[in-house]
Amino acid sequence: MHTEPRVALVTGAGGGGTGRAIAVRLAKDSAVVVNDIDHDGGRHTVELIQQAGGQAAYHPADVTSEAEVGALMQFAVDTFGGLDLLVNNAGGTPAPHFPDAPVAHWSRYLDLNLRAPMLCIQYALPHMRRRGGGSVVNISSVAGLGYALHDSPEYAAAKAGLIRLTATLDFLARRDRVRVNCLVPNWIGTPEVFEEIAAMSPEERATVPDRLTPPEEIADAVVGFTEDDQAAGRVLVCWSAEPWRLVPITVRGDR
C-alpha cells in the first residue's frame, strides 16, 4: 500500500445514511472523493468532512455509465494524486420490480447493484496498481443470501452476484496487491429505512429486528477491511440482532 496519505472513493455517499457514514469515517485518515447523483447530498457530505478538518471533494457520476466511471476515477487522481480505497456503496431498488417492471427499469437497478461495482473495480485497478496496491470494499445485502423470497428479485440477484464476485477476486491480492472484500448488512438504521418501517403494517413491522445496525458500525467494518492486509475475497455478514460472521472460505470447485 502507498505510504503517503490514502485517497478513498465512496460511491453513493450523498445520502444521509450508510455512504455518508463511510465517507466521514474514512476521512479521519484519508482524502475522500464523494460520489453521488444527488448534488446537494454529495456537497453536504463534503461539508461535513471539511468541518471536521478532513479533505474531501464531490464528483457527480452515474456509476452505471462506463464513461462517467472512468471520469470519476480520473477525478480522484487529478484532485488528490491517486486512488487507494474504493467502496462500492451505491445501490437501490425502487418499485416496481421484476417481472412486473418494464425491462428498462429493472435493468437499470440490476446494473446499479452489480455491473456498476464491476465497472468501478475495473477502472480503479490501474490507478491502484500505480500506488502499489489498494483495497476495495463492496456493500452487498442479506437479500443476496440463501433462497428466501424477496420483493425485488433483481436486487436480490444482483447482491448475490456481488458476494460471489468478491470471492472470485481474491486473486487480485496476489497479482496486483488489491484486496477485494464484501460487507453483507441486514437492517441498517438509516433515515430511509426508518421511513420504510413507519409505512409498514403492524404485521410487517413485527418482522423487523428490535435493533437496527447504525451506519457508523458498517463504516467501522469498512475500515477494518481496508486495514487488514490479510483479508482478501472475504465476506462479512452483518446481522442486525445477531453476531456478525465471516463466511468460511471453501475449497475451489470444478469448473
CA distance 134 to 176: 8
Q: CB-based contacts of 85: which residues, under 8 Å, 6+ apart? A: 6, 7, 8, 9, 26, 30, 134, 135, 136, 137, 226
Q: How far apart are CA 214 and CA 186, in angstroms?
A: 11
Residue 155 appears among annotated catalytic residues: yes
Nearest in space to 244 (alpha carbons), one of 217, 223, 219: 217
For 145-179, b/e burial (b = at least 16 CB within 10 A) is beeeebebbbbbbbbbbbbebbbebbebbeeebbb
Catalytic residue (one of 58, 109, 123, 155): 155
CA dihedral (151, 154, 157, 160) in degrees, to 10, reads: -80
The Cα–Cα gap between 92 and 76 comes to 24
Calpha distance 156→37 (Å, rounded): 23
Nearest to 22 by CA among 225, 244, 204, 243: 225
95: left (phi over 0), alpha (psi -120 to 50) or beta: beta
Q: The cell 437479500 sits on which residue?
A: 143
Listed in sequence order, the DSSP H helices in 65-169 are 66-80, 103-110, 116-130, 153-168
Which residues are identified as catalytic?
155
